[in-house]
Amino acid sequence: MLFVATHRHSAESCPSDNPVNVHELIRPEHAAQCGVKVLGGYVAPPEHLIFHVLEADDYASIVKFYRPIMTMGDAEITPVQTLEEAAGIFPAGDP
């Protein structure tokens, strides 16, 4: 399954002064231990946002992966599918 995970934190709780927990998210060993494949990781520093595109068998694996930063702010984890998969569910021409 594919997931888009977004983490938002305040300027006061920004991990930039102590980035240990954020660094955990870029360790391949951490992702492997959680059963997660990181397809992309992005950050928007001025907005205090972190985005990930992740692949895992289940939602619980994504929560485990994101646990190091969950206490620093809010996380939103959304299961998604490719446009090609969605097009197969809703083929053109069908009412």
Q: What is the largest CA-CA distance in the chain?
A: 54
pLDDT exceeds 70 at position 95: no
In the CATH hierarchy, which fold is given to the domain comprising 2-88?
Answer: Alpha-Beta Plaits (3.30.70)
Residues 6+ apart with CB under 8 A from 45: 16
Residues 16-38: b if buried by 16+ CB within 10 A, e if exposed: eeeeeebebbeeeebbeebebeb
What global pTM score does this model have?
0.86
Q: Where are the domains of the chain?
A: 2-88
Amino acid at 62: I
- pLDDT at residue 94, rounded to an integer: 53
Residues 6+ apart with CB under 8 A from 71: none
- pLDDT at residue 23, rounded to an integer: 93
